[in-house]
Amino acid sequence: MDSTITKLNADCTSLLGRNFGISKPDCAISTLGDFIENNDGNYFLINSEIEESYHGNIYTILQLTDAIKIGSILLGSDENEIKEKIEMEDLDADCTDGVTEFSGQFSGIIDSVLRNKLLKPVHVKLSSCTTINKDNAKEILQDMFSNEYLNLSSLLLIKGFDTGKYNMFFPIESAEEFFGETIHEKTTNVLVTDDSITNIRTIRKYLTNTPFRVIDTRNAKETFTILQKEKIHLILLKLNLPIQNGIEICKNIKKTPYTRGIPLVMVSDKPTQDDVIKSLESGARDFLVSPFNKERLLQKIDKFKVKEKQATLF
């Protein structure tokens, strides 16, 4: 975390030509909607899209006055002019161009930071930027309004001006890998066997801020390779898999001495009564019908979690 903030500060200072500092952040899980609803005033939203091996968006929210500072500095405005714009909250067209330029460069800085930290390919680019407040937030954010993110909340210091506020919202399913730190103490290893990357991402997202650590496989061969290498406490197994279906995999797991005791939950989107009966007969402890939300998933698997240690957040 510290190295990430240090890099952002150094690159933004170079970009603006004056000292730019984000303080060490407070971290919490929250929705964008909660942030907007609990904070009055006008803000500037930078929406950076994550591509390649990772997916989602990073949302940076600046106070409108801080966006005016940044845009005006990039335009070369003098301090008296900038302070007058700040007092009037006047983000005019020229200033908007300046802060939009900053938004693109800032997304590039995040891209550079993550490329140097992560083993898998990643690309971050500017998707959009705009002013935002309580009146227009739902229209702008749409489905993202109620999604949970890791919110990094900091003070923002720009030399020559009053201290502002700065918030970055990271997708919680990727936050641990981005920062190399733990959001929640993981006590229970869950092996998710599913040939759909979308399904795996959904489960990983739901279980990020929980005691469950997700390990994923796509087929029977990968599943048994992981079972030989890792201590697995629970298996979520898709019923309808190509080559070897979930019931066949479940039977093999239950007849293997070192895996037979692992609880298994079968998952399917359109199960018949016969599917459920055969799954339970093959050794599954429960059945989960998809699609499901986070609450439903936790209802099914909480009983299988290993005794939880005290949770930590960075």
Q: What is the pLDDT of residue 183?
A: 58
Q: What is the pLDDT of residue 184?
A: 60
Q: What is the pLDDT of residues 92-143, one digit of tens each?
A: 999 999 999 999 999 999 999 888 888 789 999 999 999 999 999 999 999 8
* Residue written as token pair 């390919």: 121
Residues near 238 by beta carbon (within 8 Å), at least 6 away in sequence: 193, 194, 195, 196, 199, 246, 266, 267, 268
What confidence tier does 181 reach under pLDDT thresholds 50, 70, 90? low
| Better-predicted residue by pLDDT, 210 or 188 | 188
Residues in the chain, overall count: 314
Nearest to 248 by CA among 297, 289, 281: 281
Q: What is the pLDDT of residues 208-261, one digit of tens each?
A: 778 898 999 999 999 999 999 999 999 999 999 998 999 999 999 999 999 999
Q: What is the pLDDT of residue 308?
A: 54
Nearest to 306 by CA among 183, 190, 181: 190
Q: What is the pLDDT of residue 314?
A: 41
Q: At what angle do helices 197-206 and 294-301 cross, to 10 degrees?
A: 80
Burial of residue 140 (CB within 10 Å: 0-12, 13-18, 19+) is middle
291: cis peptide before it, omega within 30°?
Answer: yes
For the chain, give the mean pLDDT: 90
Query: CATH classification of 2-179 is 3.40.50.2020, yes or no?
Result: no
Q: Cα–Cα distance between 289 and 158 in angstroms, integer?
A: 52
Q: What is the pLDDT of residue 118?
A: 82
| pTM (2 d.p.) | 0.66
Nearest to 170 by CA among 135, 209, 116: 209
Residues near 98 by beta carbon (within 8 Å), at least 6 away in sequence: 70, 71, 72, 73, 74, 75
Nearest to 181 by CA among 58, 313, 59, 53: 313
Q: What is the pLDDT of residue 186?
A: 75
| CATH 3.40.1550.10 domain locations along the chain | 2-179
Q: Cα–Cα distance between 208 and 215 in angstroms, integer?
A: 12
Which residues make beta-bridge pairs with 122? 52
Q: Under CATH, to which class is 188-304 assigned? A: alpha beta
Q: Work out whether strand 148-158 and strand 122-132 pair parallel, antiparallel, or are unpaired.
A: unpaired
Q: Cα–Cα distance between 297 and 252 in angstroms, integer?
A: 25
Considering 62-66, 113-117, 196-200, the range whose residues carry the highest mean pLDDT is 62-66
Q: At what angle do helices 2-16 and 93-117 cross, to 10 degrees?
A: 140
Alpha helix locations (H) across the chain?
2-16, 32-37, 64-75, 79-88, 93-117, 137-141, 172-179, 197-206, 220-229, 246-254, 273-282, 294-301
* Residue written as token pair 């890099």: 7
Q: What is the pLDDT of residue 157?
A: 94
Q: What is the pLDDT of residues 70-92, one digit of tens each?
A: 999 999 999 899 999 999 999 99
Q: Cα–Cα distance between 189 and 3 in angstroms, integer?
A: 29
Q: What is the pLDDT of residue 252?
A: 96
Among 46-50, 159-163, 179-183, where is mean pLDDT lowest?
A: 179-183
| CATH 3.40.50.2300 domain locations along the chain | 188-304
